[in-house]
Amino acid sequence: MATSAFPSDIITIEQMANKKMLTTPAEPVQFPLTAEILELVNTMKEKLLALEGVGLAAPQINHSKRIIAIYIPSSAALLRKEVKNYPIHFLFNPTYTPIADEKFADFEACYSVTSKSGKVPRYKKIKLTYFDEHGMQHEAIEEGFYARVLQHEIDHLNGTLILDRLTADCVQGPIDEMMRLRRSELSDEQKKLFDDLLRKKQLKKD
């Protein structure tokens, strides 16, 4: 796969110049997809695989388009109960509505927020609507961790960050502190995997 010519640096809310991009609703994608949008998709794919994260939204790499990428590898699935693997895939103009009011809180961090993370409340079950790369519309009922990732990434398209979801009653704090707390709640086997993943990501940074 050829390397994309699109800039792919993650932008963060802590940098004032990025505030508008990260807090303004993104622009809808038109079909058929243009060469520019296909190049953006390629850039997002390369970036998400390099980060080894579970999701990425176009505004996070400074592009105001309603595109998200989702990738849940086995390593991410092993850190939570009853999580299915998902190969990397893209959703265009996605939206969701809750199936019920019930929410549950779980640890979330965000590449575009470097000052804080915490246990973010999300709907347990949602109705997802999106378009694929061919412009075909799809609807699905999603729940659990996949629904959480979808809500997180779709929030980005609406100019919403985890900072907006972390209300005063949520467990939250500096990222290092929250990482230690999250690790403390894992089994011994999961702790080894967690530590290995952190080491791999640190090596990539260095």
* Residue 110, annotated as binding a ligand: yes
Question: Catalytic residue among 14, 133, 153, 177, which?
Answer: 153
The Cα–Cα gap between 13 and 15 comes to 5
CB 85 within 8 A of CB 77: yes
CA dist 83 and 79 (Å) reads 9
Structural element, H or E, at residue 55: strand 55-57
- If you write DSSP's letter for every residue of 174-202 in order, what string do you get? -HHHHHHHHHHTS-HHHHHHHHHHHHHHH
Tell how far CA 59 is from the center of its chain: 11
Q: Is 152 annotated as a binding residue?
A: yes
Per the DSSP assignment, residues forming a β-bridge with 46 are none
- 133 part of the active site: no
Known catalytic residues? Answer: 153
Instruction: Cite the annotated binding site by residue number.
Output: 110, 152, 156
Instruction: Cite the annotated binding site for Fe cation by residue number.
Output: 110, 152, 156
